[in-house]
Amino acid sequence: MRAAIFSEFGGPEVIRVEEVADPEPGPGEVRLRVRAASLNHLDLWARRGLPFPISMPHIGGSDIAGEVERVGPGAEHVPIGTRVVVDPSTNWEWYEGVRRGKDLPDPGYRVIGEHLQGGFAELAVVPAANLLQIPADVTYDTAAAAGMIFATAWGGLMGRASLRPGERVLVTGGSGGVSTAAIQVARRAGASVVAITSGPENVKRVRELGADIVLDRLSGPLGAQLKDATGSRGVDVVFDSVGQPMWASLIRCLRPGGRLVCYGSTAGPEAVTDLRHVFWKRLSILGTTMASPAEFVEVMHLVFEGSLIPVIDRILRLEELGEAHRALEAGEVFGKVVIRV
């Protein structure tokens, strides 16, 4: 099969499309004929070599949609030819904290395309338990673009933050894939949205997604903009993946009893927290990563029915994956890049 692989860490130039051996499904696994896969910041981190173990040569791509082509032992119940999208999370039970004993080690949480080989290839092997059937009227592009971003937004806002109608949510990095999903999830939940992005064109597009107030971080000091936008009330929930540069301002704009949900640290992982704000205002700082299998199914059904719509910036070929990496890294992408295989 053809696959976009890298065998060393580095810039987008390390990605090559090569012929590699077809993968074979093992027990409980299926092999997919990949029709579409989409890019996430996770793919950039894996390519750069940030600290998590990956096998080389590596195939990225956590969001996969395609057709079941072959089944392994124990997966015979999955019909060949079924159109499916893949939940990127494996071994979610690790988060539940239930351990079987010191001599029966439990596998840790892992992500397809990060710890495991992904979908930027003609064929991909995934656990049968991670499949969700795609309705006939939903395209592979839509399914592949939606999975990780809506799972992360839904799991973070509806799960971790327990977002309620009438609350106010601040979303950072408004042009990113997860943020474009989070704006829609928050609005559907009956919350109002303040979003931060960069540049007048992104401001316009984020507002069109449903954000009530959109701040351009390039137009002036962010702290002052947040104070003007949120006033004395502040916000109930902050949904952030930026991290270090904005952290202090985000803590300050939370109202008493507010919740800061962190799902990434794209601009720096080592943030300084003034604990006086935390204890005096009784704040909650919550971490989140994607979503449980049940949450994935729940939010993807909302995508299938058209209640939530992934924003696709562009669709490229497998041979253009390096260009997709470059564009995402340069901040030129609004929403998602889909690779059509």
Model pLDDT for residues 74-88, shown as the tens digit of each residue: 999 999 999 999 999
pLDDT the model gives residue 209: 95
The DSSP output letter for 243 is -
pLDDT the model gives residue 153: 98
The two three-digit tokens of residue 125, written as one number: 């092997």
- What's the pLDDT tens digit per position in 83-105? 999 999 999 988 888 788 888 87
Whole-angstrom distance, CA of residue 64 vs CA of residue 148: 10
Q: Is the dihedral of CA 88, 90, 93, 94 positive or negative?
A: negative
The two three-digit tokens of residue 79, written as one number: 């019909």
pLDDT the model gives residue 312: 98
Beta bridge partners, 111, equal 89
N residues, the chain: 341
Angstrom CA distances, 192 to 32, 189, 211, stand at 40, 9, 7
Could you give the angle at which helices 41-48 and 321-329 cross, rounded to 10 degrees? 100
Contacts of 295 (CB under 8 A, 6+ apart): 151, 154, 155, 158, 159
pLDDT the model gives residue 233: 85
Report the half-sphere exposure of 302 (CA within 13 A, side-chain side).
20
Return contacts of 137-140, CB within 8 angstroms, 24+ apart: 138/303, 138/304, 139/36, 140/35, 140/36, 140/65, 140/66, 140/83, 140/340
pLDDT the model gives residue 59: 98
Q: How many CB atoms lie within 10 A of CB 60?
A: 30
Ranges assigned E (strand) in the chain: 2-6, 16-19, 29-38, 58-59, 63-71, 83-86, 89-90, 110-111, 123-127, 131-133, 168-171, 192-197, 213-216, 235-240, 254-262, 284-287, 312-317, 336-340
pLDDT the model gives residue 108: 87
pLDDT the model gives residue 96: 83
Rg, C-alpha atoms of the chain: 20
Whole-angstrom distance, CA of residue 89 vs CA of residue 113: 10
Whole-angstrom distance, CA of residue 314 vs CA of residue 339: 9
pLDDT the model gives residue 129: 97
Q: Which residues of the chain have pLDDT under 70?
A: 51
In this prediction the pTM is: 0.94
pLDDT the model gives residue 61: 97
The two three-digit tokens of residue 284, written as one number: 């909650």
pLDDT the model gives residue 63: 98
Determine the distance from the C-alpha atom of residue 193 to the mean position of all C-alpha atoms in its chain, rounded to a whole number: 19
Alpha-carbon dihedral of residues 47, 53, 54, 60, nearest 10 degrees?
A: -50
Return contacts of 207-216, CB within 8 angstroms, 24+ apart: 209/180, 209/183, 209/184, 209/311, 210/183, 210/184, 211/171, 211/174, 211/183, 214/174
The secondary structure element, H or E, covering residue 98 is: none
pLDDT the model gives residue 42: 93
Work out whether strand 83-86 and strand 63-71 pair parallel, antiparallel, or are unpaired.
antiparallel
